[in-house]
């Protein structure tokens, strides 16, 4: 896999370089609430521009239906990129149409442009190979070189991720090189004890990675909504908490395998519970109560780890040499249910382990809760991509960058 260092050595001055970034940032209207993904790709874009390239940045945002939708415009991301670069960034109002062609044609050496949301064109995500290829052909006509640096999309077989690099000389950007290097530390010659913390809403989203990590991890800590399927599998009542009953047999199988292999499975011992989900807009006080995990009242739902679980999880992470964390422990967006997630983040900071925060809601929580993200070993920009890599899957966007 060619790196951006090699590409820069060969020279990019005056060349049109297509950078597939991940600018899929959370928005409140047109306001970016977390610009972490923009800042993550910033070094690659800046290096190319400083070397005299004419940089064309492209990304998806959200899940539009293959047609323009103002709610998913990349205009706010383009504006923020310009602020971070401290330079004017041109913005094309389409991906391969008149605006894109004019904006790219107008670039001078060292200038940067952002194309509109790739997913406004149905060819980007098409299942039909010919439709994807046709869109990739039009994108390729805009550029001379391709740099893949959108790690959050490398698990998608999309036109700009897989088909486009097949049409242009290509290299991996600095962000992808860093992400892959970190993930190799979690899969090859891992420093032990190796602890994994998995949270989030649905256990079905994590089945593949649990299956794979049972062969690699020393202990697995479970939290978030997915914990209730594990507790139900052990015979506990879970009230009105989130539950995937159809996954109980799979979870029981994992618990048995973990016992056979000597992998420690750690589940919550207490929860903060309430009768209803909190209001995340007003953040009105929720007044939760604390209950034991084996005494969940009927009609109550668990919404965060309780204080005993917070202390337990901190103790289980204290001696780890490697920690991978993906998924919040509760409804961290509400202050009454943020402590479980905060406690895990703090435990990682207090540990001397190599710590990896696996993107998605975990990365957002670190920032929203006010932690210094530079204090962690690595914060991934791609939750789904990280998980699929740890499942042992081949990621199409990485395979496409191989020489």
Residue 311, classified by CB atoms within 10 Å of its CB into exposed (0-12), middle (13-18) or buried (19+), is: middle
Q: What SS3 string covers the chain?
A: CCEHHHHHHHCCCCCEEEEECCCCCCEECCEECCCHHHHHHHHHHHHHHHCCCEEEEECCCCCCCCCCCHHHCCHHHHHHHHHHHCCCEEECCCCCCHHHHHHHHCCCCCCEEECCCHHHCCCCCCCCHHHHHHHHHHHHCCCCEEEECCHHHCCCCCHHHHHCCCCCCEEECHHHHHHHHHHHHCCCCCCCCEEEEECCCCHHHCHHHHHHHCCCCCEEEECCCCHHHHHHHCCCCCCCCCCCHHHHHHHHHHHHHHHHHCCEEECCCEEEEECCCCCCCCCCCCCCEEEECCCCCCCCEEEEECHHHHHHHHHHHHCCCEEEEECCCCCCCCHHHCHHHHHHHHHHHHCCCEEEECCHHHHHHHHHCCCCHHHCCEECCCHHHHHHHHCCCCCHHHHCCCC
d(CA 271, CA 283) in angstroms, rounded, equals 19
- Check if 37 is active-site: yes
Query: How many Cβ atoms are within 10 Å of 188's Cβ, its own excluded?
Result: 8
**Around 230, how many Cα atoms within 13 Å sit in the side-chain half-sphere?**
26
- Check if 2 is active-site: no
- Check if 106 is active-site: no
Name the catalytic one among 123, 173, 199, 384. Answer: 384
Alpha carbon 32 to its chain centroid, in Å, reads 16
- Residue 320 contacts by C-beta under 8 Å, 6 or more apart in sequence? 193, 194, 195, 219, 351, 353
Query: How many Cβ atoms are within 10 Å of 299's Cβ, its own excluded?
Result: 10
Name the catalytic one among 80, 202, 257, 367. Answer: 202
Name the catalytic one among 37, 132, 206, 342. Answer: 37
Residue 364, classified by CB atoms within 10 Å of its CB into exposed (0-12), middle (13-18) or buried (19+), is: buried
- Check if 184 is active-site: no
Name the catalytic one among 360, 382, 383, 397. Answer: 360
Task: Supply the residues annotated as catalytic.
Answer: 37, 202, 360, 384
């Amino acid at each position: 896999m060619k790196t951006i260092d090699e590409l820069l050595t060969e020279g990019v001055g005056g060349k049109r370089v297509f950078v597939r970034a991940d600018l899929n940032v959370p928005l409140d209207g047109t306001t970016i609430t977390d610009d972490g993904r923009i800042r993550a790709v910033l070094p690659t874009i800046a290096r190319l521009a400083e070397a005299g390239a004419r940089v064309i940045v492209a990304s998806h945002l959200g899940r539009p239906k293959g047609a323009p939708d103002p709610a998913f415009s990349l205009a706010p991301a383009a504006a923020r990129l310009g602020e971070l670069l401290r330079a004017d960034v041109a913005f094309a109002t389409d991906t391969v149409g008149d605006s894109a062609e004019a904006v790219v044609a107008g670039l001078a050496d060292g200038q940067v442009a952002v194309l509109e949301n790739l997913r406004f064109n149905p060819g980007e995500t098409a299942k039909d190979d010919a439709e994807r290829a046709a869109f990739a052909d039009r994108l390729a006509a805009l550029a001379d070189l391709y740099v893949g640096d959108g790690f959050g999309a490398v698990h998608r077989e999309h036109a700009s991720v897989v088909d486009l690099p097949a049409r242009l000389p290509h290299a991996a950007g600095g962000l992808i090189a860093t992400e892959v290097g970190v993930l190799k530390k979690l899969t090859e010659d891992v420093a032990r004890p190796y602890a994994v913390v998995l949270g989030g809403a649905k256990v079905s989203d994590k089945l593949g990675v649990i299956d794979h990590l049972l062969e690699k991890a020393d202990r697995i800590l479970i939290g978030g909504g997915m914990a209730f399927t594990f507790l139900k599998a052990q015979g506990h009542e879970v009230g009105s908490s989130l539950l995937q009953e159809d996954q109980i047999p799979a979870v029981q199988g994992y618990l048995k395998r973990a016992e056979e292999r000597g992998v420690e499975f750690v589940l919550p011992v207490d929860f903060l519970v309430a009768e209803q989900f909190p209001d995340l807009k007003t953040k009105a006080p929720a007044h939760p109560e604390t209950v034991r995990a084996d005494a969940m009242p009927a009609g109550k739902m668990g919404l965060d780890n309780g204080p005993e679980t917070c202390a337990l999880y901190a103790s289980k992470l204290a001696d780890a040499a490697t920690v991978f964390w993906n998924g919040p422990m509760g409804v961290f967006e509400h202050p009454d249910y943020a402590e479980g997630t905060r406690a895990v983040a703090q435990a990682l900071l207090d540990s001397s382990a190599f710590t990896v925060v696996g993107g998605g809601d975990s990365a957002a929580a670190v920032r929203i809760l006010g932690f210094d993200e530079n204090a962690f070993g690595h914060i991934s920009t791609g939750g789904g991509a990280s998980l699929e890599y740890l499942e042992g899957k081949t990621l199409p966007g990485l395979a496409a960058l191989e020489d």
